[in-house]
Chain A
Amino acid sequence: MGPDDLLLIVMLIALTLYAVLGGADFGAGIWEFTTALQATDRERQHIYKAIGPVWEANHVWLVFVLMILMNGFPKAFAALGLTLWLPLLLTLVGIIFRGGAYIFRSYGGGPKRELLLWEAIFAVASTGTPLFLGAAAGAIASGKLKIPTENSLPSEFVIGWISPLAVFTGFYSIGMCAYLAAVFLTREAHVIGDEHLTTIWRQRSLSTGLWMGVLSFGGLVMVAIEAPHLAEGFVTRGWPLVIISLVCGIGSLIEVWRLNCSRAVIAASGAVTAVIWGWGISQYPAIIPPSITAAQAKSPDGVLWMMLIVILTGGVFLLPALGYLFMLFKGEQLDRKVAS
């Protein structure tokens, strides 16, 4: 195992954390979008309180993935910038509006009408961002991305990335975020002992969970038809993760139903994690299949080792700090204390 493999693992870990933690944040906004007409003020407050202290940190994971890609696999970074510029740009617009809307809603202190506007923007951007980011991921996974050359037609730059799989993964990631958020928010509601909210979120978790199960099967079929290379990877290497994802998914539903909320959260996160690792492992060693592999795109080994040292050193500071943040604001004990 070379330094490039280690770095890929680090990148996959960061991507997973982004998908789970950032995903739950996005999901909260998606719920606001889909329930805009029915949600009461109290429900909205519940959402905002849950994301408040952690959303900023949750979103740095994405920056982190980008930085590793840029430094460790610069050729892949450059190729993605060229081929996927449109979905990435749209993701970026989503990130800007989401972050802006959240902060102006929380701190802007404007009149009611203006708050509503920011809320609406927050909700739409929370839905759009995972849509486009997910689509970008699907475009990569499809194995059909053509890296534009000197004499590519402008149209290839614009719509070349769109494929059935890309469209599917776009919507799939919206569903994934919504599901995570529903389970996380069930737990938060349960911890502070709010029965009304707990019931609502429990119902939502169960229904989205079932839908996600159906979608996941559809996804496997889709991969089999649309991305034969990836499907082969799943058959030879990725299959245990499919099983793990299945088990975790079903497990999370059962635990939500029984209101074992912490376990439900773990299982739901596990399901998402398994999907991402299943993808990564099945696609290995390609970063952008079929043409760009890790070995081709990587920086020299010396640089990669240096990065790993930096990441290890940084991790020594980062992980305890992150743990402290979550302990402070997500620990059950404290939540109870504040609620009472």
Chain B
Amino acid sequence: MTGLLADLTTANQLLPARLQMAFTLGFHIILACYGVGLPVLMLVAEWRFLQTGDRLWQKLAQRWSRSFAVLFAVGAVSGTVLSFELGLLWPEFMGRWGAVIGLPFTMEGFAFFLEAIFAGIYLYGWDRLPKRVHWLTGWPIAISGFLSAFFVVTANAWMNAPAGFRIVDGKIVDIDPLAAMFNVASGAQVTHMIVAAYMVTGFSVAAFYAFCLLRDPQNEYCRRAFTLGLLLGLVFVPVQMVVGDWSAKVVAKSQPVKLAAMEGQFQTERHAPLRIGGIPDPVARETRYAIEIPGALSFLSYADFNAEVKGLNDFPDNEKPPVIVVHLAFQVMVGIGSLMGLLAAGCLVNYVRFRSWPKSKWFLRTVVLMGPLSIVAMEAGWIVTEVGRQPWIVHGYMRTADAVTRAPGVWSVFAGTMSIYLLLGIATITSLVRLARVPLQEDLHGT
């Protein structure tokens, strides 16, 4: 009876625990993107100021640094939540595997720390430090933001492609934390994520100032901010496509079942088609309404049109991820990536012909749209990665159901978290909007 009760509670814990983890991570990751990307924009703006002596550039850097302060603090808070949650929600996961993948988290601790220290110096140092020194104190922020993303994503990559240990009689032996960090999936995943962070920052910033430009086309301040943001985003678009392809190849090798779910591939076949769109039907075991490009999937995954792609039908039922979610999320990410590709190409052509951004209002409107879309693409990518790994928390070694906490009340905690994060989200956005509304003139004379 008690055994049964325990079973019931574990089953009841799993869903809310996963939702809780997904929601808090999904929230944190948006802020983390700005933590990685905004320092780069601040550095560029301040560098232009140092070069030209134009106060407008300095203003730009200063106002961005204030938004950064808000985003960084909320990012730090939501990140602290995550480090607690690893113990609170997944004690079995951490208790068993902490020795293997703890190292990147420890390293990440240092990177955060440096970022927090230099954020303090940079934010409060505008009047206290010589100009050039102040600019230099921005560098460690950008570098440690980059590094923290690097470290933490290696930990996630390890969950996809576990390495650096052996199992003997159910015990973990021969732990090699470095081999665990630098597993098969790390390279592609880390690069893809960091590039995504720059893109999200770039497009969000560009979107905001595109909105301003739509109202006030002559505004010099907005034009500069817009240009910097959009450049950061666009430059990385082609890079991201190449890296995304690399990611897919890694997944094909290390997690074929995830690849099959991403592509809605039910049959094992040679010359497998690439499906664009479509809705997988797990009962009928086929993907309908998709545009199929024959052989393209085999080629993209294995660089050979005739390579065999393993389909979902060939995996046991208890090892398949939820295919609809994974396939749709993947389509969303790639779809948005392709849209961005079109935008980048359009801008390039226009630049070659006219040496400027396209003049039309529709161009600005498209950029406004790209801000939210870049975030959607990033979240969709994570859904592909995380949901596509199910039912495993550590691919092939530990099931998510075996990792979850036995403590009660996870549903209530989840409900509480939702409301607190709602408040946090609203307050963050309100603060950012208010910061942006401070009239420039007033600001130029103020602090």
A positions within 8 Å CB-CB of B: 52-54, 56-57, 59-60, 62-64, 66-68, 70-72, 74-75, 77-82, 85, 88-89, 91-93, 95-97, 99-100, 102-104, 106-110, 148, 150-152, 154, 157-158, 299-300, 302-303, 306-307, 310-311, 314, 317-318, 321-322, 324-325, 328-329, 334, 338
B427-A67 in contact (CB<8A): no
* B351 adjacent to chain A (CB < 8 Å): no
Given A56-B72, A157-B407, A328-B128, A67-B106 contact (CB < 8 Å): yes
Contact B73 A56 (CB under 8 A): yes
- CB-based contact B120/A54 at 8 Å: yes
Chain A residues, Cβ within 8 Å of B119: 56
Interface string of B75-87 (1 = CB under 8 A from A): 0111111011011
Which of A81, A102, A104, A300 counts the most B-chain CB atoms under 10 A from its CB? A81
Q: Is the CB of A81 within 8 A of B97?
A: no
| A57 to B99 alpha-carbon distance, docked (Å) | 26
Binds A, one of B191-199, B225-233, B430-438: B430-438
Q: Is the interface of B mostly helix, strand, loop or mixed?
A: helix
Assess whether A59 is in contact with B106, with CB atoms less than 8 Å apart.
no
Inter-subunit contact A64/B114 (CB<8 Å): no
Contact of B108 among A67, A72, A92, A317 (CB under 8 A): A67
B427 near A70: Cβ-Cβ < 8 Å: no
Interchain nearest-CB distance for B223 vs A (Å)? 25
Interface residue from A85, A91, A322, A338 paired with B407 (Cβ < 8 Å) = A85
Q: A302 contacts B175, CB within 8 Å?
A: yes
Seed contacts A70-B102, A74-B94; 11 additional CB < 8 Å A-B pairs: A57-B117, A59-B76, A60-B109, A70-B105, A78-B92, A85-B405, A97-B420, A99-B77, A100-B423, A100-B427, A104-B427
Contacts of B78 in A (CB 8 A): 96
Nearest opposing residue in chain B for A64, CB measure: B109
Task: Pull 11 A–B residue pairs with CB atoms less than 8 Å apart, ordered by A.
Answer: A56-B116, A59-B116, A62-B80, A64-B113, A81-B90, A85-B88, A89-B84, A150-B6, A157-B406, A157-B407, A338-B128
* Interface mask (B174-216 → A, CB under 8 Å = 1, otherwise 0): 0111100000000000000000000000000000000000000
CB-contact partner of B114 in A74, A300, A318, under 8 A? A318
A53: B residues at CB distance < 8 A: 120-121, 123-124
Contact B81 A92 (CB under 8 A): yes
* Other-chain residue from A57, A88, A303 in contact with B102 (beta carbon distance below 8 A): A303
Which residue from A52, A68, A151 sits with its C-beta under 8 Å from B124?
Answer: A52
For B137, give the chain A residue with the smallest CB separation.
A324
A146 to B94 Cα, complex, angstroms: 19
* Complex Cα gap A285–B100 (Å): 23
Q: Which residues of B contact A322 (CB under 8 A)?
A: 117
Give the A-binding residues of B (Cβ under 8 A).
Answer: 2-3, 6, 9, 66, 69-70, 72-74, 76-81, 83-84, 86-92, 94-100, 102-103, 105-110, 112-114, 116-121, 123-125, 128-129, 140, 175-178, 405-409, 413, 416, 420, 423-424, 427-428, 430-431, 434-435, 438
Residue of A nearest to B70 (CB): A107
**How far, in whole Å, are A302 and B120 apart by their CA atoms in the complex?**
36
Kindly name the residue among B78, B113, B430 whose own CB sees the greatest number of chain A CB atoms within 10 A: B113
User: Contact check: which of A93, A107, A306 meets B69 at CB < 8 Å?
Assistant: A107
Give the distance in Å from the alpha carbon of A150 to the alpha carbon of B62 in the complex: 55
Chain B residues with CB under 8 Å of A62's CB are 80
Residues of A within 8 A of B76 (CB): 56, 59-60, 99
Q: Contact: B106 with A310, CB < 8 Å?
A: yes
* Across the A-B interface, the 8 shortest Cβ-Cβ residue pairs: A71-B102, A74-B98, A78-B95, A81-B87, A299-B99, A314-B110, A78-B91, A103-B73
Known: A88-B88, A150-B3, A303-B103. A57 touches B113 (CB 8 A): yes
Partner of B116, one of A57, A68, A103, A311: A57
**A95 nearest CB neighbor, chain B only:** B80
CB nearest neighbor in A for B128: A328
Most central of A107, A152, A157, A338 by chain B CB within 10 Å: A107
